[in-house]
Amino acid sequence: MYTYSYPRPAVTVDALLISNQKTVLLIERGRDPYQGRWALPGGFINMDESLEQACQRELEEETGLNIEGLKQFKAYGAVNRDPRGRTISVVFYAFVNEELTVCAGDDAANAQWFKLDKLPELAFDHQQIIEEFRKEFLG
């Protein structure tokens, strides 16, 4: 395998699920960083999967939901967005008709739906991500 002489960032994915009731699905982080804070479901990609596959896998691992047809929204790459190191996240989204039943798993301590106008304090830059999504898609 070829190795580079310069550092490379890690790549993560995050899932934005929005219901017709104007709610968003969040997970409570079970591990540091930000243990106990709420975040979008997501995580690091595996070397053998596409970005969309990684997002579907992380969403299913953390919430029990198998959602197909996720669409890419934006990439976020602020230098200090993740205290673990240089990380770029690609955000995917889907609209669902109702608040689907979720079951927290993997490194998520909890998973639940929150009204878009009554969000808890969020980890990472997830507040910014949700606000930008709202402006673009929900007016």
Domain assignment of residue 56, yes or no: yes
Q: What is the DSSP letter of 125?
A: T
Count of domains for the chain: 1
How many of the other CB atoms lie within 10 Å of CB of 18? Answer: 20
Supply the pLDDT for residue 7. Answer: 86
Domain that holds residue 83: 10-138
CB 70 within 8 Å of CB 93: yes
> Is residue 3 over pLDDT 90?
no
Question: Model confidence over 64-83: pLDDT tens digits?
Answer: 999 999 999 999 999 999 99
Supply the pLDDT for residue 100. Answer: 96
> Is residue 86 over pLDDT 90?
yes
Domain assignment of residue 76, yes or no: yes
Domain assignment of residue 1, yes or no: no
Domain assignment of residue 2, yes or no: no
Q: Assign residue 25 the CATH number of its domain.
A: 3.90.79.10
Domain assignment of residue 98, yes or no: yes
Domain assignment of residue 3, yes or no: no
Q: What is the DSSP letter of 48?
A: T
> Buried (b) or exposed (e) across 67-93, using 16+ Cβ within 10 A?
beebeebeebeeeebbeeeebebbbbb
pTM: 0.94
Whole-number percent of the chain with pLDDT over 70: 99
Average the pLDDT over 40-63 and give the result.
98
Average the pLDDT over 80-92 and give the result.
96
